[in-house]
Structure 1
């Protein structure tokens, strides 16, 4: 199926669940909330996607996809630390939100690469993962991520400012 190994097929299925959960979380909550059911599904399937990805060597040995998996796991760890502790002080909710959003970006990069180099069957859109069009697509994804992260940070800042204002409002 599409030139996938059995592990590759499992990896792809898990990653599709992660992307769907992440997209639904963004649509519903405007962010990935690790404490929500969607967020938990997203985090677990993202971890499984990374772990299964380490066993896939379609393009030779250890490479860029494996590095991206390590970076994704580190971003998940950073998000978890920021969400569960105050180690990062007032920046914690911002770091948590942007880190989870970055992991979603990290899903989309290989998704676009693998899809465009495998489909349509027999005549893929792009010849290989080094095609210049993929660099453009990655750049567009990065710009969209930066716009989304900026909007998320602004929304968190507004919410935190409103909460702080409610706490210091004088009693009548």
Structure 2
């Protein structure tokens, strides 16, 4: 295993692990509770730290694609956090919040896939034996899982919203 990291890389890695754990907890537990908000804040802060530190890591000596993904994730985190503040005013913000947070977690997992293939010797050996398409297939599976989550949670929230509206509207006499 290659863990030859500069101090900034260690901070980045620690923030990644915290975001992975906090995000998994938030996704797996009831939404809208006090605990959801607390752990969600940990997720947001750790995402800020990991993506800001990612902007300072230059393995190849220049700004390249992972830096762009860090900026995209920062935008998603800002949109997700901001929309959470607006949910009570208008229900559409719940979809923005859900989508932004799911996509930010997807980008975190995608970066993790790359790091696993880069840093774990057995996975690097697998790539050298099987070819680079194994990385692409892994990313495709991760993408499919998150697409299902994105569509499924948004559809479920839409159905709940329609049912709430139906119950709240007076029935014709």
State the TM-score, normalizing by the size of structure 2: 0.83
1:66 aligns with 2:67: yes
Task: Give the distance between the partners of 2:84 and 2:123, measured in 1 at CA.
Answer: 45
The corresponding residue for 1:4 is: 5
CA contact (8 A) 2:44 2:81 kept: no
Once the two structures are TM-superposed, the CA of residue 60 in structure 1 deviates from its matched residue by 2.7
Task: Give the paired residue count.
Answer: 166
1:125 to partner: Cα distance: 4.1
Q: Write the deviation string for residues 46-105 of structure 1: whole angstroms up to 9, x where unpaired.
A: 01110111111113311111100000011112223333337xx65321121011000000
Q: Identify the residue that residue 109 of structure 2 maps to in structure 1.
A: 108
Q: 1:56 to 1:121 in 2, by over 3 A?
A: farther
Measure, in 1, the Cα distance between the counterparts of 2:140 and 2:146. Answer: 10
Q: CA RMSD in A?
A: 2.7
Q: Which residue of 1 aligns with 2:157?
A: 156
Q: Partners in 2 of 1:123 and 1:150 — Cα distance?
A: 33
Equivalents in 1 of 2:125, 2:113: separation in Å? Answer: 12
Q: 2-side partners of 1:141 and 1:104: how far apart?
A: 11
Structure 2 counterpart of 1:135 = 136
- Mean Cα displacement is larger for which, 161-170 or 57-66? 161-170
Matches within 5 A, 1:1-172: 2-29=3-30, 36-85=37-86, 90-120=91-121, 124-126=125-127, 131-169=132-170
1:123–1:140 Cα change, 3 Å = closer
Unaligned runs of 5+ in 2: none
Give unpaired runs (5+ residues) of structure 1: none
